[in-house]
Chain A
Amino acid sequence: MSRQPYIRPMSKTTWYMRNKRYKVYVMRELTSFLVAFYSFLTIIALAALASDSPDRWNAFLASQQGTGMTIFHALALVYFLFYQTFPWFKLAPKAMPVYLGEKKLADSYIIIGHYVAWVIVSAFIFWLAGVI
């Protein structure tokens, strides 16, 4: 009897369509485009600030406050929350389990800790920006 194992290669272009799990993963990874976009936006903002021209800075602020950009930022926030923030906070206890003697600290403590830290950091940034 001859051996002739059959290999089913995974499609390099459509593999993520195979199941829901992979699709959710790809949606999470696609947020990297938004990260790139916001990095780019930060560079533009810094360049406007560095130019010492109030007009240029005000023009940048105005460009972000139109209806289209407001909707875009709101959608980006929702996308980030559902495909980055919530999933990663949920996964955090996996990457950093805490043991107290023989007992593992319940995952909920680590997850809640992340949310608390998130609120504190956000509040600090809002305070810095003069929003609160």
Chain B
Amino acid sequence: MNTRQLELEVMRYDPEKDEAPWFQTYTVPCNEDWVILDAINYVKDNLDTTLAYRWSCHMMVCGSCGMMINGEPSLTCKTFIRDLPDKVRVEPLENFPIERDLVVVLDDVMQKLHKVQPYIIRKDDPPPQDKEYIQSRGALAKFKQLTMCINCMCCYAACPQYGLDNNFIGPAALALAHRYNKDSRDQGKSDRLDILADHDGVWECSFVGACSEVCPKHVDPAAAIQQMKIDGAVEFWKQKMGIPGDKS
């Protein structure tokens, strides 16, 4: 197996010692089939046990190893060394406070995900106990892509709107809301409308489109948000003209 010397510049920050983050460079002997996460694991195992970072599955499922790789938000388990130059800079995800080294604070996004009511809301009273809600494959196709999100938050790191004003609900949470709005079993669209159509909701998005470009799972939150803008406008005019909403 060919090995290659990779110069890995890693952002370090120790809240108990450092005033501000700084960069530490490690020289890592890498195999060509390694991903960046392998190189970071090598550092942790062989060069510097103090390095803090998050990872779990190493297979694009858990969503915990999102970092900035040469300025681009990406999963480190998905970014191959062979596609990168000999010098690589790794930083924690942009637009989030740094807890320590490559670990960021995600509390804000966790609250936002909760805020959009990401679960099936039914108006049946009481909900049927003994049968499931039937859904056709065609109805599933309308939102299946949106269910692929693994909450890696690369989209938030790419979004300048969130970076400038973190009151914005942001790409992943809005895409998740759209996933439930589009679900034929859900009846909570009007319940979510107040949050989504509010000042910090979909209209804060100016369609830079960076979220969709960096999404490792091709969820396309930018598309979801634009569709919600159209849905929101249609709902608004329906309400103005006294036409009942399409659900609930």
Contacts and interface: CB of A to CB of B under 8 A. Distances in A.
Residue among A2, A6, A25, A95 with the highest chain B CB neighbour number at 10 A: A6
A2 B99 CA distance: 10
B118 interface: no
Interface string B202-225: 000011111011000000101100
Contacts, number: 81
Contacts of A96: 227, 230
Contact of B164 (A7, A12, A25, A103): A12
Contacts of A29: 206
Nearest to B137: A102
B164 A15 contact: yes
A97 to B, nearest CB: 7
Interface in B52-78: 71-72
B213 A102 contact: no
Contact of A21 (B18, B141, B207, B208): B208
Interface residues of A, number: 28
A6 B71 contact: no
A97 B98 contact: no
A16 B223 contact: no
Contacts of A54: none
Contact of B98 (A1, A5, A12, A15): A5
B99 to A, nearest CB: 6
A8 B94 contact: yes
A53 interface: no
B97 A5 contact: yes
Contacts of A10: 94-95, 160, 163-164
B245 interface: no
Contacts of B27: none
B15 A5 contact: yes
Contact of A3 (B15, B142, B223): B15
Contacts of A95: 223, 226-227, 229-230
Contacts of A99: 138, 141-142
Nearest to A4: B15
Contacts of A97: 223, 227
Interface string A47-86: 0000000000000000000000000000000000000000
Contacts of A101: 138
A15 B99 contact: no
Nearest to B142: A99
Given A2-B15, A8-B94, A25-B160, 6 more contacts: A5-B99, A8-B21, A10-B164, A15-B164, A21-B208, A22-B210
19 contacts: A1-B15, A1-B16, A3-B15, A3-B99, A4-B15, A5-B97, A5-B99, A6-B21, A6-B97, A8-B98, A15-B160, A22-B208, A25-B206, A91-B207, A94-B212, A94-B222, A95-B226, A99-B141, A102-B136
